[in-house]
């Protein structure tokens, strides 16, 4: 039985085309001899030069550590190459988008250039030209309703021109990129002093006129007739109301023209009060009315000067902020 098992073993090994080398050739004779069941395997040397069949899997070969490191380096370099290609493609797309956006912004900016001349021209035509060159004799025919409506019409023309000018200024002040938001909010102190100046400019002439009509202020004599007082002060009150409404809207919409709005209206208000001083002689206004008009002119000249000081201060503040943002963090923190 042992010899039959050995023979089957040798047959199975022969199917794998092994080669045997025997140190002792007499061992083969012992295999052929019946009854020889003792086999010393240490005398047997097997040289396995087998060829695997097509159905048998190939042996798994473990790679060395150096080969694994080299493969990792090659794979890492390949990944870096792909990443660099993807990043270069993304950068090219971003550059194309930026160039297209710059071209679009430049076209929009070219369209804004005529506004720099058109806006001031509208303001000059609607506000200053009727007041400076139109003779009052053709507008003011006396202390009557027609003269009052004529003066209010001149101020309405100015209000329309001022609204167009502020819209053009807002368009020029917006950023070049339409996608960028522009939220310009004035500080609380600025709002407070603007409202204070408007309320003061409204209350002082109102109280003086009411006191002269009711007899509370006996020193304000003689009285000014109602129609004459309306001719002198009603356009003034309307302009105050329009300025207040415009400023509140610019604050609510966070428009960048909130700093220019009071300058536009206050400059015209001075001309309006100077026109009132001229008309005071036509309506035979008392001396205290003339002094009140002169006081209002002085008050609004002072307020206009303060507004111009604010414009200068905000311009310097904006330049300081831009300089600080351009500096490195280490320099800006010092």
Residues in the chain: 334
Question: For residue range 66-114, what is the model confidence (pLDDT) as tens digits?
Answer: 555 555 554 555 555 445 555 656 666 677 666 656 655 555 566 677 8
Distance CA 33, CA 9 (A): 17
Please give the pLDDT value at position 133: 76
Residue 194: count other Cβ atoms within 10 Å of its Cβ: 23
Instruction: Quote the CA–CA distance of 42 and 49 in Å, as a whole number.
Output: 20
Q: In the predicted model, what is the mean pLDDT of the chain?
A: 74
Q: Where are the domains of the chain?
A: 2-47, 80-112, 113-312
3-state helix, strand, coil in the chain (%, to 5): 75, 0, 25
Picking from 254, 270, 253, the residue whose alpha carbon sits closest to that of residue 308 is 270
Residue 279 is given by DSSP the state H
Given its phi and psi angles, is residue 45 left (phi above 0), alpha (psi -120 to 50 degrees) or beta? beta
Q: Given a cut of 90, is residue 194 above it in pLDDT?
A: yes
pTM greater than 0.85: no
pLDDT recorded at residue 332: 45
Digit-coded pLDDT (tens) for 26-79: 545 554 455 444 444 444 444 444 454 554 455 544 445 555 555 555 455 555
Which residues lie below 8 Å from residue 6, measured CB to CB, with a gap of 6+? 31, 39
What's the pLDDT score for residue 221?
A: 78
């Amino acid at each position: 039985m042992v010899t039959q098992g050995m023979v089957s073993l040798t047959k199975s090994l022969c199917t794998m085309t092994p080669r045997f080398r025997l140190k002792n050739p007499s061992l083969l004779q012992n295999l052929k001899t019946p009854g020889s069941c003792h086999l010393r395997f240490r005398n047997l040397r097997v040289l396995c030069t087998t060829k695997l069949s097509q159905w048998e899997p190939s042996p798994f070969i473990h790679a060395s550590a150096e080969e694994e490191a080299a493969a990792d380096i090659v794979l890492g370099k390949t990944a870096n190459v792909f990443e660099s290609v993807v990043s270069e493609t993304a950068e090219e797309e971003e550059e194309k988008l930026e160039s297209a956006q710059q071209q679009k912004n430049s076209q929009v900016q070219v369209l804004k250039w005529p506004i720099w001349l058109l806006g001031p021209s509208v303001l000059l035509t609607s506000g200053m030209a009727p007041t400076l060159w139109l003779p009052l004799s053709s507008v003011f025919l006396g202390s009557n309703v027609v003269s009052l409506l004529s003066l209010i019409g001149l101020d309405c023309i100015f209000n329309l021109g001022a609204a167009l000018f502020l819209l053009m200024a807002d368009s020029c002040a917006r950023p070049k990129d339409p996608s960028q938001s522009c939220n310009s909010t004035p500080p609380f102190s600025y709002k407070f002093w603007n409202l204070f100046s408007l309320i003061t400019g409204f209350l002082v002439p109102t109280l003086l006129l009411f006191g002269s009509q009711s007899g509370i202020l006996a020193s304000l004599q003689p009285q000014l007739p109602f129609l004459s007082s309306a001719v002198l002060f009603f356009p003034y009150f309307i302009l105050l109301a329009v300025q207040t409404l415009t400023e509140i809207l610019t604050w609510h919409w966070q428009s960048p023209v909130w700093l220019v709005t009071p300058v536009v209206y206050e400059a015209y208000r001075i001309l309006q009060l100077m026109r009132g001083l001229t008309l005071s002689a036509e309506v035979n206004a008392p001396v205290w009315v003339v002094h009140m008009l002169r006081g209002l002119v002085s008050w609004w000249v002072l307020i206009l000067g303060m507004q111009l000081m604010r414009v200068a201060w905000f311009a310097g503040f904006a330049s300081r902020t831009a300089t600080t943002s351009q500096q490195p963090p280490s320099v800006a923190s010092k």
